[in-house]
Structure 1
Amino acid sequence: MINRIMLLLVMLSGNLLYAQETDCKVLAPRISGIYRGECKNSLAHGKGIAQGIDMYEGEFKKGLPEGMGVYNWADGSYYEGYWRQGLRDGSGIMTFSPDSIVRGFWKADKYAGKEKIKQYEVTQSRYVARSSFSRTGNTPLQVKVKLTLGGVPNNTIQDFSMTYSSGEEFRLGTAYGIQNVTYPLTVRMQYRTWNVMRTVMTDVTFEFRINEPGSWDVNIQN
């Protein structure tokens, strides 16, 4: 009886491994040959090992390397670090040979330097009470700016001007926008508005730079 149970367990284990190798897909072409690991909705998801022309061992999400992992190329070079949607993204170490090693940060599979690049930064702010930035998704590549006064849309704006390093300007209700953007994007806004007590008109200047591609909402409160 015990022998039959052991045989059944071995068979089940073999069937599970076979299912992982054939039914659980890896969407990165160079490592899509054989996969062993965790699976969700027929895609590699969780920890696993994928091997094709190259080999990757680490975390997956929806069929692609995401999280921490080690990628070995066929030429012998390898990268150990963080991934996002199948691309090197975050801190990591790239080893080309024992005497050629690069440490630092990657963004969308490109080396960004030894220090992490900020998603955005305010480079000039005059007569602005506070500001906030929110990345709402990967697409469309656009920036929407809302101007508020005392928590409501600011309808006292005068002499508004906006310059930007790329894209096309559009309006969406009371929001100012820039679409078809190439990042990094630099935006400079100038306008006149009442202060929150509506006692003095102020000349506002607000300049910012967004480095990470995506769809962004920017809120400026006077």
Structure 2
Amino acid sequence: MNSLHIVLAGLLGAAGMAAFTPEGLPRQKAAPTEQAVPALSQSEPTDTTKTGGRASRKKKDKSKKEPAAARVTMKREVNRATLSQRSEEGNNVEVVIMSAGVALRDVEDMRMVGSSGTPLSSSSYIGFDNVSFPFEGNIRFKASNKMGTVVYDREVRFEVNEPGRWTLRVDL
């Protein structure tokens, strides 16, 4: 058993010594050599039609984008605010405020300002009637958090560019 240990130690020692010989050391990289690159003359046309094809196509698509039919421009202390069109006929924007999947109709200190139309707030309907498009609206109200421990001042600003019946859904 002792002789086996001696043989293994000898082999490992020889392998370790081999690493320190010039053949076992890693080689250094040679200095880069200069290569001659032929220069293009001014009269030779270069083909640039395929360079950046995908990137330039995306930029063109973005510049052709039409303005959105409706969009939320700002929200504060609100998880989500979305605008959806219920029908193409009509000229009103209904506001639905949701908290934990339940529609809230009794929010505190509700202030609604629109660029046109009449703001209405009752126990069954919150929104703007008889608006002219494009329409910009601003809704501010106070509502507590889900635990009912803190009251936040919340705000949503939005724009509607196409006529119809619209619904602004505000998720707290």
TM-score (norm 2): 0.59
Deviations 1:92-141 (A, max 9, x none): xxxxxxxxxxxxxxxxxxxxx95311111211100111122211112211
Counting strand residues as a fraction of each chain, which structure ranks higher? 1
Moved over 4 A (4+): none
Query: Is 1:115 aligned to 2:75, yes or no?
Result: no
Deviations 1:75-96 (A, max 9, x none): xxxxxxxxxxxxxxxxxxxxxx
- Evaluate the alpha carbon distance shift between residue 155 and residue 213 of structure 1 in structure 2; reply closer, same or farther with a 3 A threshold: closer
Q: Does the aligned pair in 1 maintain the 2:143–2:154 contact within 8 Å?
A: yes
Name the residue aligned to 1:212: 162
Query: Is 1:134 aligned to 2:84, yes or no?
Result: yes
Query: Is 1:152 aligned to 2:102, yes or no?
Result: yes
Q: Among residues 99, 119, 143, which one is paired with 1:193 in the alignment?
A: 143
Question: Aligned partners of 2:120, 2:141: CA distance in 1, in Å?
Answer: 17
Name the residue aligned to 2:75: 125
- Structure with greater contact order relative to length (CA < 8 Å, sep ≥ 6): 2
Q: Does the aligned pair in 1 maintain the 2:114–2:137 contact within 8 Å?
A: yes
Q: What 5-or-longer segments of structure 2 have no aligned partner?
A: 1-62
Measure how far apart 1:183 and its partner are. 0.7
Percent of aligned pairs sharing the same letter = 28
Q: Does the aligned pair in 1 maintain the 2:73–2:159 contact within 8 Å?
A: yes
Question: Aligned partners of 2:85, 2:79: CA distance in 1, in Å?
Answer: 21
RMSD: 2.0
How many residue pairs get aligned? The number is 111
TM-score (norm 1): 0.46
Deviations 1:4-62 (A, max 9, x none): xxxxxxxxxxxxxxxxxxxxxxxxxxxxxxxxxxxxxxxxxxxxxxxxxxxxxxxxxxx
Pick the structure with greater CA Rg. 2
Q: What 5-or-longer segments of structure 1 have no aligned partner?
A: 1-112
